[in-house]
Amino acid sequence: MLVVGALLLPDAALARPTDTDPPNGCSAAVAARAEPDTVRVCDPSLITLESLPTCPVCPGGLHVVFIQREIATESRWMNNEAIDALEALRSRSAAPGLKAAVVQYGPGRSRVSVGMTENLDQVRSALSRSSAASNPPDHNNAAASAAREAVRQLQGARSEGSPPTCELVLFFAQDSPTPG
């Protein structure tokens, strides 16, 4: 179909994008050239088409959920790694649509510390709240609950009819303490 349209163009031209956005967010710039630039009937000619497709990787943005332990032996390391990951995502995400949430889990419970938001400073603050303990509780049985909450945060941030988002969960865990 593009070939027919390009063949009908009398001069070299750059096709304009259509008014309707494709459902996957992809688009293409098409350039057409005729050699020679004027052609008489039955004269040989060469038509060259060049297409440069572009598809955004995450057309609807990036949604991230950080899952952290409330109490961890290496809480400073965990907090710093989570903040570094957030800052790396922030610096590499030039397009709008970066949102994040924080879910924390501890003995017998999980909770949303910060719901899905574009306020990344609020997320950053929440990522530094886990506390340290030399021997944190071993019965951290709420990891599965925290994972389910992360899925709920991602599902709640989706908008019907909007371009699809990329979704990422960063789950911080810790081995059981060594007896002795």
Q: Which domains does the chain have, with CATH numbers?
A: 2-54 (no CATH), 62-171 (3.40.50.410)
pLDDT for 12 equals 38
pLDDT digits over 123-141, tens only?
Answer: 999 999 888 777 666 666 7
For every residue of 127-147, DSSP letters joined together read: TT--EE-SS--S--TTHHHHH
Strands (E) across the chain are located at 13-14, 27-35, 46-54, 62-69, 71-72, 98-106, 109-117, 131-132, 166-171
Give CA–CA dist 26/80, Å, rounded.
Answer: 36
Please identify every stretch of the chain with a pLDDT value under 50, giving residue numbers as ranges: 1-18, 180
pLDDT digits over 44-77, tens only?
Answer: 887 777 777 776 678 888 999 999 988 888 889 9
Residue given tokens 């371009």 in the structure block: 163
DSSP 8-state symbol, 178: P
